[in-house]
Amino acid sequence: MFLRLCAFLSCVSFAVGYVQEVTFYTEYAFQGDALRLRSKHAELTPCQLKHIANTKTFCAVGSWQGFEGQNYTGRVRFTSTSGAAMNCQEKSFKYSPIKSLRYLGQLETLMPSISVNSGSNDSDTGGIERTFTNLAANNFGFIPAHLVLTGGSNWTGFSNEDFTGESTCFSTSELHVGISPHPSVVRSLFQGCDAKYGSEIYESAE
């Protein structure tokens, strides 16, 4: 009976995920009008841009980035990385406006997934992002400059498109982790790691 309860409890504690979201407030102390976002915005609308320009405080859960240019290009001017805890701060965009905004990786952090980022001239996390939840992924169209793992999932990256070549095991037990794959070149990915590939091990506990 005791063992059963333990197994049940550890299962519950592992299953507490979170949804990434950010809320911008037009007044100090998280007052005034609020704009809450839970999706990726390659081009913020004029209405959203106006609200963000008037922002004085924000609260965010997860990992968010705002970029100087549309389509997640140019410099990163807004960053909030807090995991499941809510990060609440003062913030003005008056001298550093953003035109695009997104969370990194998957919205629901409990789901096993990997996201690959092309990177842009100014940021490894910028540019195109593609998210995979299936067991294998390739044909990215670029060599990833950044990886995001969710759901405590582990992935084997291969240097060739056909799941062969040099391999690296990207491993974590966290719900949301950002990893720079350098110097590994990753052209294809399998979910899970296996000693049979003789991979280099990259373990992240962010």
Ligand X SMILES: *[C@@H]1O[C@H](CO)[C@@H](O)[C@H](O)[C@H]1NC(C)=O
Contact residues toward ligand X (CB under 6 A) are: 42, 70-71, 73, 121, 152-154, 171-173, 203
Q: Long-range contacts for 133-139 (Cβ within 8 Å, ≥24 apart)? A: 133/106, 134/191, 135/190, 135/191, 135/192, 136/163, 136/188, 136/189, 136/190, 136/191, 137/188, 137/189, 138/162, 138/163, 138/187, 138/188, 138/189
Alpha-helix residue ranges (DSSP H) falling in the chain: 2-14, 46-53
Q: Which of residues 20 and 153 has its CB atom nearest to ligand X in the complex?
A: 153
Query: Closer to ligand X at the Cβ: 27 or 43?
Result: 43
Q: Where are the alpha helices (DSSP H) in 33-87?
A: 46-53
Give 41 or 91: the residue with its C-beta nearer to ligand X.
41
Classified as helix, coil or strand, 71 is helix
For residue 59, the minimal CB distance to ligand X (Å) is 28
CA 94 to the chain's CA centroid = 26
State the nearest-atom distance from the C-beta of 173 to ligand X, in Å: 4
Q: Which of 52, 51, 22 is nearest to 38 (CA)?
A: 22
Q: Which is nearer to ligand X, 87 or 204 (CB)?
A: 204
Q: CA torsion angle for 102, 47, 70, 92 (degrees, to 10)?
A: -70
Output 44 or 61, the one with its CB closest to ligand X: 44
Backbone angles phi, psi at 30, to 5 degrees: 60, 45
Task: Select 97 or 152, whichever has its Cβ closest to ligand X.
Answer: 152
Q: How far is the CB of 29 from ligand X (least distance, A)?
A: 35
CB of 25 to ligand X, least distance (A): 28
The token duo for 186 is: 């990753």
> Which run of H or of E encompasses 141?
none
The CB-of-166 to ligand X minimum distance in angstroms stands at: 20
Q: How far is the CB of 90 from ligand X (least distance, A)?
A: 29
